Amino acid sequence: MNEDLQADLRELIRDLLGMPAGSVRPPDNQPTEGDNYAIFEVSEMMPTGWAGSSLDAEQLGVATITIDFIGEGAAVYSRNLAIAMQSFYAANALMSLSMGFIKCSGARNLSMIEFERKSRYQVKLELSYKFKYERPKIVDDAYGTIENVNINLIAEQ
């Protein structure tokens, strides 16, 4: 899953839950202060099949996304995510991204592992996906020229 698609999903989750701007963040950009934010990480991509021909192949599968909600509203955000992802608005937004909602786990309370005793709840979100295979661009002069080199080889038995 590329960075652009992950950014779109983070923005969708933020919008659905009414979280502050920029509060749903990738795992490598965790804030050190603030309240009411979420850490979004694609934890598993499981391909289930493919379609198309060799030039326009598409992969189908299930992506598991782990979301840790941290802060005062963590319990509410984690509880509301499942119902929000089933809304008409979310279904249309996911469809435009070639994805679909499968399920959202119940929230796990991880507050006891927080050093500062902040409220922390974790959910796992499963989405179906369809990605089109895009063949890498080949540089025109990548092939170069091939020159023959004659080697006289003598073998003995």
Which tens digits make up the pLDDT trace of 53-99?
767 788 899 999 999 999 889 999 999 999 999 999 999 999 999 99
Q: Which amino acid is at 101?
A: F
Residue 117 lies in a domain: yes
Q: Is residue 147 part of a domain?
A: no
Mean pLDDT of 40-55: 85
Give Dmax (Cα) for the chain.
82
C-alpha 127: how far from chain center: 9
Q: Letter for the amino acid at 85?
A: M
Q: What is the rounded distance in angstroms from the CA atom of residue 17 to the CA atom of residue 77?
A: 6
Q: Which domain holds residue 108?
A: 3-136
> What CATH number does residue 122 fall under?
3.30.70
pLDDT of residue 17: 96
Residue 155 confidence (pLDDT) above 90: no
Confidence of residue 34 (pLDDT cuts 50, 70, 90): low
Q: What's the average model confidence in pLDDT over 4-21?
A: 94
Q: Do the domain assignments include residue 149?
A: no
Any domain includes 69: yes
* pLDDT confidence of residue 145: 66
Average pLDDT, stretch 35-46? Answer: 92
Q: Is residue 144 part of a domain?
A: no
Q: Is residue 142 part of a domain?
A: no
* 3-class SS of residue 47: strand
Measuring CA to CA, which residue among 25, 101, 109 is closest to residue 74?
A: 109
pLDDT at position 94: 96
131 pLDDT above the threshold of 80:
yes
Residue 17: inside a domain: yes
Total count of domains within the chain: 1
